[in-house]
Amino acid sequence: MLSFARQPHAPSYYHATAHPWEACPELQEAVSFDVCVVGGGLAGLSAALNLAERGFSVTLLEGATVGFGASGRNGGQVIAGYACGIDTMRAQLGAELSRVMWDMSVEAVDIIDERVRRHAIECDWMRGFCNAAVKPRHMQELEEWQQEAESEYGYAGMVLWDREQLRQQLGSDRYLGGLYDPRSGHLHPLNYALGLARAAQAAGVKIYEQTPVLKLEQGSRPKVITEHGSVRCGHVVLACNAYIGQLVPQLERKIMPAGTYVIATEPLGKAQAASLIANNMAVCDTNFVLDYYRLSADQRLLFGGKVSYSGKEPRDLAAAMRGDMLRVFPQLADVKVDYAWGGFCDITVNRAPDLGRLSGNIYYMQGFSGHGVNVTGIAGKVVAEAIAGTAGRLDLFTRLQHRDFPGGKWLRTPALVLGMAYYRIMDAL
């Protein structure tokens, strides 16, 4: 795995407003559990909680601190569906099974609602999401998806807004209209992750932080080796995502870390915040290199975008992101930016999540490709189902075909940078 070197959380708005968390110890002995989960983000926490609720003894090893990676840095948007779009799954699985996959993505949203309520997780969970159209063809695509979602997938309730209707909710002249989904929404992702961790601990999960995994020995009783300790277990769940490194090279080759960035303005006050997003929904635009944004609970605008495959943070990140924000909301020209941060999510070639087994008792979850806040919830659930003996839903995910990124270790990043440049040009046309 990548070296964390006891790095602190990113200097984000989320970290500044996180609920208190009592640090967990580093693993410093040899221990034994039914299941060892590697990775303390939303995917690992979901699996650990589901497994503990099923009666397994579970430990979770986190290389830094809970929610350190994408789980504690992302845009906080909870959107039904997958990053790849349901058509990718339909092409591989057929109409009937793609409907099952779609239903699981909706279940993933409802899992968040259920967890927040049952475990009293204070994470500013709010329903409401809009996909805003930048171009006429995007508006046509949204209309077609609304009809398809209802007729083919039984997903009713989305509302297509024209420019004037959208303008009543969104204080920007940039868009031609949008598709509003009242079931999707947004939350404070780090506080949600910390809430899941507390729920997992209450269910019996033993969490170790600052405990990177150095080696994995497979077998009938796998051994997970750290710097100062080890875990013998019946099953391993790998939920490392962008931080898998060389722990399992065959998994690392199927994902690519993608940088994405967010700024948070100073508090705007209720009136100005409502003039931007009247109904407090989350918003994404329809470009390939998209903007995404929402309001925080204390009336800041959280504005994200600038996806990068180069591994390099944009120069003067706050100013660069501010320019993008003013393209959408020029009325914020006099508003200060209080926080600017970034991080990595992992993408797959086809943008579909990659879940499966390395062997009969070693499972993995990765490649959420920007939809991880909700999809991790169903991923952890179906992996727990499989470990408990019911693997049908996990097997659907394993039928999705995933290729290694072309170019190998050294050439795939330049190739993706060139590809991203192409899509930026297409977005501009």
Q: Which two tokens stand for residue 332?
A: 């914020």
Q: Which residue is listed with tokens 């060892």?
A: 36
The pLDDT of 340-348, averaged and rounded, is 93
- The pLDDT value given to residue 65: 97
User: What is the per-residue pLDDT across 24-41, written as a single tens digit (0 to 9) for each?
Assistant: 999 999 999 999 999 999
Beta strands in 266-402 (DSSP E): 282-285, 292-295, 301-308, 337-347, 354-359, 362-366
Structure confidence at residue 198 (pLDDT): 98
Of 121, 74, 82, 86, the residue nearest 379 (C-alpha): 82
Looking at per-residue confidence, does 419 or 198 come out higher?
198
Q: Is the pLDDT of residue 409 over 80?
A: no
**In whole angstroms, how far apart are CA 116 and each of 212, 368, 379?**
29, 21, 17
Q: What is the largest CA-CA distance in the chain?
A: 63
pLDDT for residue 1: 41
Residue 428 pLDDT greater than 90, yes or no? no
Is 255:55 a contact under the CB 8 Å cutoff? no
Beta-sheet pairing, 58-61 with 30-38: parallel
Residue 129 and residue 315: Cα distance in Å, rounded?
A: 30
Domain count, the chain: 1
Mean pLDDT (the chain, rounded): 93
CB 248 within 8 A of CB 327: no
CATH assignment of the domain containing 372: 3.50.50.60
- In the predicted model, is pLDDT for residue 117 greater than 50? yes
Paired with 359 in beta bridges are 362
Contacts of 279 (CB under 8 A, 6+ apart): 128, 169
Burial of 223 (0-12, 13-18, 19+ CB in 10 A): middle
For residues 1-7, give the mean pLDDT: 51
Nearest to 316 by CA among 291, 340, 290, 334: 340
Cα distances (angstroms) measured from residue 282 to each of 34, 292, 325, 391: 39, 8, 15, 34
What is the pLDDT at residue 170?
98
Q: Which run of H or of E encompasses 182?
A: strand 177-186
Helix, strand, coil content of the chain in percent (nearest 5): 40, 25, 35
- Which of 236, 211, 232, 234 lies closest to 32, judged by CA? 232
Residue 204 lies inside a defined structural domain of this protein? yes
CA distance 347 to 341: 19
| Within a domain: 124 | no
CA distance 368 to 351: 7
Q: Is the pLDDT of residue 418 over 90?
A: no
Residue 299 per-residue DSSP state: S
The confidence score (pLDDT) of residue 416 equals: 52
Residue 373 belongs to domain spanning: 13-73+190-254+350-408
Q: Are 353 and 378 in contact (CB under 8 A)?
A: no
Which residues contact residue 181 at a Cβ distance below 8 angstroms, ignoring those fewer than 6 apart? 79, 80, 128, 129, 130, 131, 157, 158
Q: What percent of the chain has pLDDT over 90?
A: 85
Which segment of 74-88, 281-295, 397-411 scores lowest on mean pLDDT?
Answer: 397-411
List the beta strands (DSSP E) in 187-255.
206-208, 213-217, 223-226, 230-238
Q: What is the pLDDT of residue 307?
A: 74
